[in-house]
Amino acid sequence: MELDLGLTTRSRVRLVRQTEVAECGLASLTMIANYHGLDIDLGTMRRRYSPSLRGAPLRALINLADQIGLTPRAVKLPLEELGNLHMPAVLHWDMNHYVVLEAVKGGKALIHNPDGRSRWMPLPEVSEHFTGVALELRPSSDFDRKSLRERLNLSQLWQSMTGLKRSLAQILLLSLVLQAFVLASPYYMQVAIDSALPALDNDLLTVLALGFGLFTVINVMASLLRSFVLLNAGTSIGFSLASNIARRLFRLPVEWFEKRHTGDVLSRFQSITPIQSLLTQGAVAALVDGVMALLTLAVMFYYSPMLAFIAIVAFGLYALVRAISFSFQREAQEASIITKGKEQSTLIETVRGMVTLRLFGREALRHALWQTRLTDAVNSNVRLARIGIWQSTANMLIFGIENIITIWLAVGFVIDGAGFSVGMVFAYIAYKGQFISKSAALIDQAIAFKMLGLHLERLSDIALSPEDRSFQPGTDAVTELKGKIEMRNIFYRYSSSDPMVLQGVSLTIEQGEHVAITGPSGGGKSTLLKVMLGLVEPESGEVLIDGIPLHRFGYKSFHSQTAAVLQEDSLFAGSLADNIALFDDEIDMERVISAATAASIHDDIIQMPMQYETLIGDMGSTLSGGQKQRVILARALYRQPKILFMDEGTAHLDARHERKVNEAISAMGITRVIIAHRKETIEAADRTLVMMGGAMAEWHGEGA
């Protein structure tokens, strides 16, 4: 028996598509929470209950469900008993995924896949994916039906834009001038037919032609000015909008980028385009179309209330069709955007990994994977296009029948002598055509504004995600760095459902000390370095710089006086000098050469055709592994840091180059923290620490 909590539930589950790499479980919980009456979106869920990069085990889902007020019950059952589950329920899928089961009927199951789409699947096909584990979720007594959505409002985007109101006012004024011509044109036809033609009055016809000809010139000039204003306003607003969103994007924490595909981030950024279009053209068009529809409708009622009523009925039917099809259109539009992002991500990854694919002979398999992603994108576009076809077909049918009825009645009025002239028929048909086109355009604009919620929802993942801690107010002051680092009882894990990666790590590194950290792979060394750098925040514990907590010392201040060479570092398209100075406005070539010499890459560079102006390929593809690593090291030394962090920073160097690099850096007398496995690198350090299983210990011998 189900517990009746007086909640308003949805009649069906609405698909929520995952954004991050491993948040299918969170998306599934969001679907079921929405179904039971908790209005929350995936972005809000993610910000409140951050998922793990490595996925969520069933235990983590149970804990999350309990936090939002759902009573979980994990069950193991055969496929034949799937229909006995309390639905909607979460199914464990393909050993590494979660989906939502809404219903089982006629040998088929309605599956909502966060990584795909909703569809009825035959049970034999379900059997190929279902692992036999399911999670039932019921509202508990403290389940709170409310709205927790954090929405990005359109007003938040245009608040910082200058000149928007002025541009919109200009566009509106010019649009009204254009519409005045449209409103007057049918009357020209009526006067010409009803007055000039029966009287064979050439003078009247000439005067009418000259008057409306002048009106046409004014109309053309207004159209030209409006086009230029739209161009300038669209360019300015588009630039401001893109710049503001990009600024926010570049200030997000490192973990935000690690959890998302590149293609998905790009597709979210591209949601700026429809917003820009609606801000510059859609808003004005909607207002003008609304005014024109009302004016032409008033004129139509003046000609014939009966004929005007028929047009209103047709307009109402068209509006009903668009309203009914909106949810399908929105879902298809969302699927199209997401599948296109996945296809782009696969293509980008394939291009970047072409050397690996070539060596392993996996081009055909990768092509097949990309084709699968492309097929999904094409199918999504086809579904969207089908909805558009049905809408246009309904449009043609409704207004086609309306046009036939209108002409039949209007001509009948003329024949019956009911006060309708031939010129009035032509004028009314023209006005009616304007009403239909403007009212239909108004509906289209209303749907476009409604659809804007989809794009704002996608942009909200960028705009509403909290900025990195280093950009918080009051973190810009520069504190002189000496070089001492202290970590006190540091605990860290990727999410609340993951085991601890760092377990109570405490260490002190004195000013000018050279410390090597070694240990087996996966022991937490790179994570420790990121915590030390302030790139990630520990769950508990404290990092002190020169005896001052890092957040008080200032992340920007700390980063400006330190340098790091990490495993995932890359070069950028440009010259070698640009990369070493990291595109400084005014490059100090003496420092560039000095840093390159210390990194033992200077001799290699001067042998190149253009020396320091030599251009490198994408991500340094024209350099060898050792050369690339030495250029990255030179980039770090160019900053003249007080502390240098290195994560396998000399792993690609031969013994001679590594010795020269160590001697040059040692002569600087700066604090060095390195992660290494090579014996020579470890022996060069003043002290060696071992990380194993998230714990730190002193190294007392070989073989660690």
For the ranges 130-139, 147-156, 653-662, the one whose mean pLDDT is highest: 130-139
Between the alpha carbon of residue 65 and those of residues 14, 70, 147, 592, the distances in Å are 18, 5, 17, 55
Q: What is the mean pLDDT of residues 58-76?
A: 83
Q: What is the mean pLDDT of residues 352-369?
A: 83
Could you tell me which residue, 630 or 680, shows the higher pLDDT? 630
pLDDT band at 517 (very low <50, low <70, confident <90, very high): confident
Residue 438: pLDDT above 80? no
Which has more confidence, 300 or 703?
300
Which pLDDT belongs to residue 700? 56
Looking at 193-197, 482-486, 615-619, which range is the least confident one? Answer: 193-197
- 131 φ, ψ (degrees, to nearest 5): -90, -5
Stretch 251-257: mean pLDDT, rounded? 82
3-state SS assignment for residue 96 = coil
pLDDT reported for residue 232: 67
Predicted pLDDT of residue 414: 77
pLDDT at residue 526 tops 50: yes
pLDDT range class, residue 2, cuts 50, 70, 90: very low
pLDDT band at 159 (very low <50, low <70, confident <90, very high): low
pLDDT surpassing 70 at residue 234:
no
- Give DSSP secondary structure letters for 355-389: HHHHHHT-HHHHHHHHHHHHHHHHHHHHHHHHHHH
Which CA distances in Å does 280 have to 129, 168, 449, 452, 630?
48, 7, 13, 14, 49
Is the pLDDT score of 231 beyond 70?
no
* Local confidence band at 604 (pLDDT 50, 70, 90 cut-offs): confident
Tens of pLDDT, residue by residue over 455-468, are 887 788 788 888 88
Q: What is the pLDDT of residue 185?
A: 63
Which band of pLDDT confidence, cut at 50, 70 and 90, is reported for residue 207? Answer: low
Tokens of 418: 């009911």
pTM above threshold 0.75: no
Residue 486 predicted with pLDDT over 80: yes
Structural tokens at position 377 = 């994108």
Active site residues: 24
Could you tell me what percent of the chain has a pLDDT over 90?
A: 0
- Output the average pLDDT for the chain: 78
Which pLDDT score, from 0 to 100, does residue 7 have? 40
Residue 74 dihedral angles phi and psi, to the nearest 5° = -85, 135
How much is the average pLDDT of 475-487?
78
Q: Please determine, for residue 171, whether its predicted confidence score (pLDDT) is greater than 60.
A: yes
Confidence of residue 175 (pLDDT cuts 50, 70, 90): low
- Say yes or no to pLDDT of 522 above 60: yes
Residue 64: partners with Cβ closer than 8 Å, 6 or more residues away: 25, 26, 29, 49, 56
Q: Which one is predicted more confidently, 182 or 316?
A: 316
Using left for φ > 0, alpha for ψ between -120 and 50, and beta otherwise, residue 697 falls in beta
* Residue of 658 and 482 predicted with greater confidence: 482
Residues 6+ apart with CB under 8 A from 417: none
Output 22 or 29, whichever has higher pLDDT: 29
Mean per-residue pLDDT, 670-688: 81
d(CA 152, CA 250) in angstroms, rounded, equals: 18
Specify the range with the lowest mean pLDDT, choosing from 122-136, 225-239, 352-366, 422-436.
Answer: 225-239
Partners of 92 in beta bridges: 98
What's at 14, amino acid-wise? Answer: R
274-279 average pLDDT score: 75
Tokens of residue 446, six digits: 């209303």
Rounded average pLDDT over 564-585: 82
Which token pair is 397? 């049918």
The whole-number pLDDT of residue 195 equals: 63
pLDDT of residue 704: 39
What are residue 73's phi and psi, to 5 degrees?
-145, 110
* Contact present, 92 and 133 (Cβ < 8 Å): yes
CB 99 within 8 A of CB 66: no
Checking if the pLDDT of 321 tops 80, the result is yes
Tokens of 453: 């919620």
% helix, strand, coil for the chain, step of 5: 60, 15, 30
Query: For residues 171 and 225, is the Cβ–Cβ distance under 8 A?
Result: no
More confident position, 383 or 521: 383
DSSP letter for 81, please: G
For residues 594-609, average pLDDT: 84
Quote the CA–CA distance of 629 and 568 in Å, as a whole number. Answer: 11
What's the pLDDT band for 342 if we cut at 50, 70, 90? confident
pLDDT at 3: 36
More confident residue, 208 or 264: 264
Do 121 and 109 contact (CB within 8 A), yes or no?
yes
Q: Is the pLDDT of residue 351 over 50?
A: yes
Residue 535: pLDDT band with limits 50, 70, 90: confident
Helix (H, G, I), strand (E, B) or coil at 305: helix
pLDDT beyond 60 at 18: yes
Taking residues 146-163, report their average pLDDT.
Answer: 67
- Most confidently modeled of 94-108, 223-237, 454-468? 94-108
